[in-house]
Amino acid sequence: MKQLLLDFTQAPAPTFANFVPGRNAEALAALREAAGGAYRERVLYLWGDSGAGKSHLVQAFSEAAEGRSVRRVRGAQFTESDVAPVMAIDDVEDLAEPEQIALFNAFNERRFECLVVTANAAPRDARLRRDLATRLATGLTYRVLALSDEEKRDALAAHANARGFALADDVSSYLLTHARRDMPSLMGALDTLDRYSLETGRPITLPLLKAALQPQASA
């Protein structure tokens, strides 16, 4: 049971496949295109609240990029040496002043082909130099919207249906209350529960889920 609990609490690696788009289908499609080398714009700017999935998309882009590696770095750690033909900067608002200038110069000197950045606010409201914010706004800008609980329930039900079982409302409600709430982790938890159900011959019910999440209660 310890391994089962570990499977529930460890988040899977972020990929395009395990990102549930919800209202973010256009942003996901644009990143997939860019990962395949089709750069419609030099900059893809993703902004939104914490937990909406911005970092997931950046990591998925980095892993899926075809033909070349992506230099991925957090804003607070970015230096001019990180400038590369394809790069991703998470939390671009954390760039220090000299690094903002370096990125602005790299933009003007066309030292990169594609740049993906994440931020908490749209370019015009971001805590950035106005000249850099203006450059970043020249590309594609997407607000990444977190899934509502109802959208998460629908996504979980659809995933369960695809695996051949019906997900009871009390099971999805318990997952949303007691497990990690990001969609990759929720989907991973559902897969783990399905695997355990098949191994033990027990149906997927709330008692089975509780036993998986709280193994000490069944000891």
Rounded Cα distance between 182 and 20, Å, is 10
Find where tokens 């993703």 sit: 46
Q: Supply the mean pLDDT for the chain.
A: 88
For residues 75 and 95, the answer to whether their CB atoms sit within 8 Å is: yes
For residues 19 and 57, the answer to whether their CB atoms sit within 8 Å is: yes
For residues 180 and 169, the answer to whether their CB atoms sit within 8 Å is: no
For residues 27 and 142, the answer to whether their CB atoms sit within 8 Å is: yes
Q: Tell me: the pLDDT tens digits for 93-131?
A: 999 999 999 999 999 999 999 999 999 999 999 999 999
C-beta atoms surrounding 124 within 10 Å: 11
pLDDT bin (cut points 50, 70, 90) of residue 183 is confident
Kindly list the structural domains of the chain, giving each domain's residue range(s) and its CATH number in brackets, ordered by start: 2-10+147-218 (no CATH), 25-143 (3.40.50.300)
| Least confident among 12-16, 31-35, 48-52, 111-115 | 12-16
Q: What is the mean pLDDT of residues 4-28?
A: 77
